[in-house]
Amino acid sequence: MLDDMRVLRDAVAEYRAAATAAGLDWPEHAEAPAGQPPGSVYRIFGVDHVAEQLTWFQSQNWPPRRLLPNGGWIMPWPADGGEELDTLAISIGTPFPWRHQVRLFNFEHLVYTFVLAGEYEGEIWRYEFTPDVWGSARAATSLAALFTGWTKGIAAGAVVHDDLNGWLQVREDGQDEVAVLRERVPDVDFLTFPVYVADESLLRARQRECGVDMDCIERGFDCYEELSDTVRATRRSLGI
């Protein structure tokens, strides 16, 4: 879903306010107007437009710091597309074409993407960097919903400042992170937060709800190999 721009701006501003109040070092800077993506973006991802919501967000030039929960950071527009497309080989079973998404956030063990086209345009999807998990799933219905969820997590004390690392962290309190989130912010899908989901049945239930092809998930590595072959063929056709 594509957000109304005012809603998106407010959601991002509210997240920044909550994050800095929690102790995150995030210097003030003026809002920038929406720019334009590099021309190669259209070619790499096979789309004919890029939403203003994404171009505005990428134009804000946030400082190169870990400003997101669990030490995540914003990824810039892709340089040449090769690594970008290779990473998308882990997005098996998505209910939209695998190529119609761009990496937006990196959490080391997870990557979040912005869907670029079709009926899922504007949704945020998440993927784990462990192919044997097959964790393709929706993180949020939109960019504003993602930041609103994170803001609620901070307000509820489920996301706190980690003084040792200097970033925001989902608290554990001797529990699994998912358990903390479900207890403290029950009105936000725990997949909104960049946490590992150890309970596979819980993950599979969420995947079904957001339209993931469960037959593909069941085939696991075979489906991953098929998509990897498709990615390599696409790279060859694009010369990248």
Q: CA-to-CA distance for 150 and 72, rounded, in angstroms?
A: 12
End-to-end CA distance of the chain: give it in Å, rounded: 30
Closest alpha carbon to 90 in 239, 238, 212: 212
Token pair 């998404």 is found at 101
Q: At what angle do helices 52-59 and 143-155 cross, to 10 degrees?
A: 50
- How far apart are alpha carbons 131 and 21 in whole angstroms? 37
Tokens describing residue 179 = 């358990």
**Cβ partners under 8 Å of residue 161, min gap 6:** 22, 23, 24, 167, 168, 169
From first to last of its 240 residues, the chain has per-residue pLDDT tens of 999 999 999 999 999 999 999 999 998 887 888 889 999 999 999 999 999 999 999 999 888 899 999 999 999 999 888 889 999 999 999 999 999 999 999 999 999 999 999 999 999 999 988 777 899 999 999 999 999 999 999 999 999 999 999 999 999 876 799 999 999 999 999 999 999 998 999 999 999 999 999 999 999 999 999 999 999 999 999 999
pTM for this model (two decimals):
0.96
Contact in structure between 54 and 96 (CB atoms under 8 Å) = no
Task: Tell me if 112 sits within 8 A of 192, measured CB to CB.
Answer: no
CA distance 203 to 119: 23
Give residues with Cβ within 8 angstroms of 143, minimum separation 6: 3, 8, 11, 53, 54, 57, 114, 122, 124
pLDDT on residue 81:
82
Per-residue pLDDT, 137:
97
Q: What is the pLDDT of residue 30?
A: 79
pLDDT confidence of residue 97: 97
Rounded to the nearest 10 degrees, what angle do helices 5-21 and 52-59 cross at? 30
Looking at residue 31, its pLDDT comes to 83
